[in-house]
Structure 1
Amino acid sequence: MLHSFRQGGMENMIGQMAWRLSQSGFKVIVCALVGSDDFKHRLPPGTPVLELQKRPGLDLRCALRLRALIRELKPDVIHSHNWNALVYSLLALALGLNRTPLLHGEHALLYGWERSPWRLRLRRLFYARCDIIHTVSQGQINDMAALGLTRNLTLRVIRNGVDTLKFSSLDKEKCRLSLGIPPHAPAFGMAARYVPEKRHNLLLQAFLKIGKIFPTARLVLAGAGGNCEAATNELVTSHPFADRIIQLGHRDDMTTVYNALDLLVLTSTSEGMSNVTLEAMSCGVPVLMHATCGSEELIHPGRNGSLAAMTTADDVAAAITALLEQPDLLRTMGGAAREFIEQEYPLAKTAADYMAVYTALGGKNLTTAEGR
């Protein structure tokens, strides 16, 4: 169960897990509150995608439709992802007096109004009904504990993983040629939806300084969608170095995109365990991350990537400049990043962790009605 099944890091992980689970005898059903798009084609053939067409606001009819689906499908486990899916899963179960085990996943750091006292009280109440709460990093659990959200709960960390066969090193010059990036120009970029917490504006502001220091540098932006896309496009159009900003939109060949970069930059403030970071590191590309939740579990500064407190555009510019001035260090960190991901974050480990939790909750012959 999830809000929608459209392009995103969490949704991409759901698709990959669906393949692994179905190959191991699990039946997977995706239930999306507000719908899906062509991204559902990343699921195994024949995977049902049930769209509840939830209306804006609290939609009790949507909860009733979900209750009817649960009665019909009789899932062994319901797996909700993030807040909206949790609310409607609990409503449906309460309306049907159903005791189907509920596994709830949190995939990002709580921020903004999510940390307000009344919202935290609601989370404590709703979490108490879940059989297991899982996060994608230990940092998330630490943050939840500091907010008083973990008391008397059964908690699990199920870290995201990456397909190291798909995301691997390619010929950089060929990748750059396909994307229109000069072969010897410093190239850095971001891959993300256009939403406030990703902070594209900060990176664009930083490029005002970086572009002067490195006259041939290219800033690459991959991704599409989100409520800041139009505003970001305007910033790009009016940027003094607009001719050196490459906007790729949604891409199905992210391995090519990563391999074209010298450095991936993640200025986001709300990651739980960034799939983009995992994928880039698996391709042998070092990552500069904002020092936030989950970053310390992925990045060993100076060895396989870099961490920085990127609060202002000046912070971002300084951190990127320092790394672009050391191309040999970037290459060394990229090699170490690949080795680290191969050892610590293989996709098979993530799938095995999910299977173990499903089996513990619902028995051996499982149908998982979830966002996966």
Structure 2
Amino acid sequence: MGATSWLQARIPFSRRRSYQRPRWGHTLKITCLTENLASGGAQRQLCSLAVLLKTRGWDVSVLTYFPQNFFQSYLIDNGVSHLEFDGCNRLSRIFEIRRILRNSDHDVVLSFLRTPNILAEISSFPGRKWGLVVSERTGWPNGQETRESWRTWFHYLADYVVVNSNKNRGILTFQAPWLIKKVRTIYNSVDLERFKPDSSGNQEDDVIRLLVVGRVSAEKNVFGLMRAFRKVVDCFPGKDIQLDWYGDSFKETGAGVQGPDGLFVRALKMRAALGLEKRFHFFPPTVDIAAKYQQASALILASFYEGMPNVVCEAMASGLPVLMSDVGDARELVIDGKDGFVFDSNADDDIAAKIGDFVRLPVAEKRSLGEFSRMRAVEMFGEERFVGQFADLLEAASERL
């Protein structure tokens, strides 16, 4: 649907000056704003939420401004409309989003990620006729919390601010104590029917298959993980240990990724120098990521910073042990020796040691870790809890006007 027809559908003739907003619990009209529909965790969560709200009978649309559309078919197949516009420079993008949001007849705008949050908040000034809920989905690198604190002032314009980890909630309210009554923590959701353990069992000991899901980027610590993995391979010469990385940034062009000095090119050079070409594999993103979880022995996430990693939630639901860095809510997600291991992402030796601890476990203990992961995922990441908490906030935001 083009921008014009989408706006016509959202803006009634006469602008509905006598329009009465739905009372608590009734159908709402929601516009979701984010950067794109790429295969990232934030996009997956927003699209899942849009579809879940749609199944409640709400009128939900998604607005994006960059052309990555990994999840577009998922939205369309589930009856959620999608408006994408591109070709704008940064300044004109602000005015275009402001025009769309201010001229659309919605009850609430819900934005995901930092830049869309600011765009939604700018669009709400100096006054609005709709509720506004913004959601911070990622953490901050150490030392950047203060440099990023200027963003919190825009949250004055929102009704609620959602974070997906208690760690990020603490950072945000420390930076801006005046936000404490607006901030809510809502953990990610997982489709527990789609992401579930392989009933045939996936913990064979002939191959240890570690799985990474995420962009090939500096904050994901690709170089540190590669060095640590080499140490593990050397420590277990008789073991077939493989690492499969599914992510999309290495498909892009530009010096930041694939140019002569790009991160992915440097990663390939390091892989060759370490002799890991037959063990450390890069793959493009896949729509059948659930099957990859079932085929893996464990998930590993070596990031320098995270909020609530979507891949950790999915892996736990799939019955995988999780090896992750001590970032975000890691200590609330992973109990050392119970459903995985936590390590220091800045210490290659510690990453290697925790991978080694997992490799040494007997098959039965590996399976026990996976079963405990699944049990905790069911408790923490159910879709009904997720959509219910967001629906309550969206309804409350629509009532605050």
Q: TM-score, normalised by structure 2?
A: 0.81
Matches within 5 A, 1:226-245: 227=257, 228-245=263-280
Q: Is residue 304–residue 345 contact of structure 2 (8 Å, CA) maintained in 1? A: no
State the partner residue of 1:329. Answer: 365
Matches within 5 A, 1:142-157: 142-148=170-176, 151=179, 153-157=181-185
Q: Does 1:206 pair with 2:228?
A: yes
The Cα shift of 1:107 comes to 0.6
Distance change (3 Å), C-alpha of 1:40 and 1:62: same
SS in 2 for 1:243: coil
The Cα shift of 1:186 comes to 1.8
Distance change (3 Å), C-alpha of 1:38 and 1:290: closer
**Aligned partners of 1:152, 1:294: CA distance in 2, in Å?**
19
**After superposition, what is the alpha-carbon deviation per residue over 1:50-83, rounded to whole angstroms, capped at 9, x for unaligned?**
2232645x41x22222232124322111112122
The Cα shift of 1:183 comes to 6.9
Greater relative contact order structure (CA < 8 Å, 6+ sep): 1
Equivalent pairs, count: 353
State the partner residue of 2:4. Answer: none
**After superposition, what is the alpha-carbon deviation per residue over 1:87-138, rounded to whole angstroms, capped at 9, x for unaligned?**
211222227x424221110011122674244x41x22321111110110111
Matches within 5 A, 1:1-372: 1-45=33-77, 46-53=79-86, 55=88, 58-59=90-91, 61-94=92-125, 97-111=127-141, 114-117=144-147, 119-120=148-149, 122-148=150-176, 151=179, 153-170=181-198, 184-215=206-237, 216-225=240-249, 227=257, 228-327=263-362, 328-362=364-398
State the partner residue of 1:369. Answer: none
Tell which structure's C-alpha radius of gyration is larger.
Answer: 2
**Aligned partners of 1:236, 1:116: CA distance in 2, in Å?**
35
SS in 2 for 1:206: helix
Q: Is residue 4–residue 35 contact of structure 1 (8 Å, CA) maintained in 2? A: yes
| Farther-moved stretch of structure 1 (191-200 vs 140-149) | 140-149
Q: Is residue 77–residue 102 contact of structure 1 (8 Å, CA) maintained in 2? A: yes
Q: Is residue 131–residue 394 contact of structure 2 (8 Å, CA) maintained in 1? A: no
Q: Is residue 291–residue 310 contact of structure 1 (8 Å, CA) maintained in 2? A: yes
SS in 1 for 2:133: strand
The Cα shift of 1:146 comes to 3.4
SS in 1 for 2:351: helix
**Aligned partners of 1:44, 1:350: CA distance in 2, in Å?**
21
| Farther-moved stretch of structure 1 (251-260 vs 236-245) | 236-245
SS in 2 for 1:306: strand
User: 2:119 corresponds to which letter in structure 1?
Assistant: Y
**Aligned partners of 1:75, 1:232: CA distance in 2, in Å?**
46
User: 2:350 corresponds to which letter in structure 1?
Assistant: D
**Aligned partners of 1:88, 1:345: CA distance in 2, in Å?**
29
**Aligned partners of 1:194, 1:346: CA distance in 2, in Å?**
28
| Farther-moved stretch of structure 1 (232-241 vs 291-300) | 232-241
RMSD: 2.4
The Cα shift of 1:10 comes to 0.9
State the partner residue of 1:370. Answer: none
Distance change (3 Å), C-alpha of 1:208 and 1:286: same
**Aligned partners of 2:178, 2:303: CA distance in 1, in Å?**
24
The Cα shift of 1:343 comes to 2.1
Q: Is residue 98–residue 119 contact of structure 2 (8 Å, CA) maintained in 1? A: no
Q: Is residue 140–residue 306 contact of structure 2 (8 Å, CA) maintained in 1? A: no
Q: Is residue 211–residue 241 contact of structure 1 (8 Å, CA) maintained in 2? A: no
Which sections of structure 1, spanning at least 5 residues, go unmatched? 177-181, 364-372
**Aligned partners of 1:12, 1:22: CA distance in 2, in Å?**
15
Q: Is residue 320–residue 370 contact of structure 2 (8 Å, CA) maintained in 1? A: yes
Q: Is residue 52–residue 62 contact of structure 1 (8 Å, CA) maintained in 2? A: no
User: 1:270 corresponds to which letter in structure 2?
Assistant: Y
Which sections of structure 2, spanning at least 5 residues, go unmatched? 1-32, 251-256, 258-262
User: 1:169 corresponds to which letter in structure 2?
Assistant: P
**Aligned partners of 1:10, 1:188: CA distance in 2, in Å?**
23
Q: TM-score, normalised by structure 1?
A: 0.87
User: 1:329 corresponds to which letter in structure 2?
Assistant: E
| Farther-moved stretch of structure 1 (254-263 vs 277-286) | 254-263
The Cα shift of 1:284 comes to 0.9
User: 2:385 corresponds to which letter in structure 1?
Assistant: K
The Cα shift of 1:192 comes to 0.9
